[in-house]
Amino acid sequence: MYRLRILIALGSICLLFNCVDTTSGGFFFIDTPAKIGSAEPSLYVTPNERLLLSWIEPISRDEHSLLFSEFKSGRWLDAKTIATGSEWFVNWADFPSLSAMNDGNLVAHFLEKSGPDTYAYDVKLTISNDDGKSWMPSFKPHNDDTETEHGFVSKLRLSDSTLMATWLDGRQYAYAKADSSIMEQMSLRSAIIDTNGNLLREFLIDERVCDCCQTDMAMTSEGPIVVYRNRSDSEIRDIYFSRYLNGSWSNPQTVYNDDWKIFGCPVNGPAIASRNKKVAISWFALNNDRPEVKVSFYNNSEQVFEEPYRPDQINPLGRVDISWISDERVVVCWMDKLDGDAHIKLQTLSQNGEFGDIHTVEVTSIERSSGCPRIAVHKDKLFITWTNSDETTQIRTAYINIDNL
């Protein structure tokens, strides 16, 4: 009877804290307030170390909401609505996210249709200066009014009052129709925004990039660094980086010469993470028809990325993410294709090339509806979120103690 009471008590604790299951691999699966149909999750750790989860869920066939929740006392709190709209562009690869400039500030983005064409949509930012209780009217970080693609946004805190946003920008497709000297190509642009939503500066980083691969940014000791997939005149689509130094973006440089020639976007962008003066990047490429996930560390003295390492992988789909878990180690997340399913994998890597054990978090669909898993380090735990995709979708979250990686 005593043992039964303990089991009942433990079960009550799990219900209280939304614990669903613990696998043999040490993952704790945590229920979220997201409903069936939810997708496109993202994680963010605020400047004062709060963990936030954002996602999109449908209200009706044509209407969606962007919501967020905070992880507190072992569970996800009730969802709060950021924005709702009926003219949104909702896409598995081009997902919203949260960021912040200071402790009470939050910045979110979503995508809103600007015209009848499928890929005519704008980036819309919205700001809260009261910790998500209310949100300003949304606005565009780009100053063009073209009905072209704008998306794949990364956001990064510059100071307590400013934020840097980068995005893929399709305005040149519209300009080329009126001027034959302008190439039809996607560009990478950025802007600095303040807490009131004012656009302080806008930049062109790279005038020719891959059309629909995610971008990512990290803050280094010297300033922001952005990574993205470039597009050469000969259709080589390798990963590049640029650094924001002394008020301007540096000339783009190659992370590594994969020489991946592909006549179309692979929809598989890089991920970057920083810790103090250290930077690491992960990305997907195809080499001699062999898919690979790679990891490279930045060499501060030579200001280049070093020869990449390759995590243990079977048939990777990519969809990568990366985080530092100590001063010497990162953890890489990717999807592997096995027996017709997508296996979400984690593996640690030290700067000297030593790999840890592979951890399988979950098995989900290989379809695009399963989205891109995201990871974040919060205190002594690594959190991960992904979209469980079957007949419908629903986001899931889990964590593992860093000591168990």
Lowest mean pLDDT among 1-15, 114-128, 329-343: 1-15
| pLDDT above 80: residue 185 | yes
For residue 255, tell me if it sits in a domain: yes
Please, is 234 exposed, middle or buried when counting C-beta atoms within 10 Å of its C-beta (0-12, 13-18, 19+)? Answer: exposed
pTM: 0.93
Q: Is residue 4 part of a domain?
A: no
Whether 12 is covered by a domain: the verdict is no
pLDDT digits (tens, 9 = 90+) for 314-357: 999 999 999 999 999 999 999 999 999 999 999 999 999 999 99
User: Does residue 288 lie within any of the structural domains?
Assistant: yes
DSSP per residue, 235-300: -B--EEEEEEETTEEPPPEES-----B-SS------EEEEETTEEEEEEEEEETTEEEEEEEEEET
How far is residue 86's CA from residue 335's CA, in Å, rounded to a whole number?
32
Structure confidence by residue, pLDDT tens digits, 272-297? 999 989 999 999 999 888 999 999 99
Q: 346 lies in which domain range? A: 25-404
Q: Is residue 285 part of a domain?
A: yes
The DSSP letter of residue 311 is -
Domain harbouring 282, CATH code: 2.120.10.10
Do residues 190 and 200 touch, judged by C-beta distance below 8 A? Answer: no
Percent of the chain with pLDDT over 90: 91
> What's the number of CA atoms in the CB half-sphere (13 Å) around residue 134?
4
How many whole angstroms from its chain centre is CA 285?
Answer: 18
> What local confidence, expressed as pLDDT, does residue 241 receive?
99
Look at residue 46 and give its three-state secondary structure: coil
Residue 159 lies in a domain: yes
Residue 1 lies in a domain: no
Helix (H/G/I), strand (E/B), else coil: 225: strand
To which H or E segment does residue 12 belong? helix 2-16
Provide the domain count of the chain: 1
CB 401 within 8 A of CB 26: yes
Cβ atoms 80, 68 nearer than 8 A = yes
Residues 6+ apart with CB under 8 A from 174: 144, 146, 147, 148
- Whether residue 128 lies inside any domain: the answer is yes
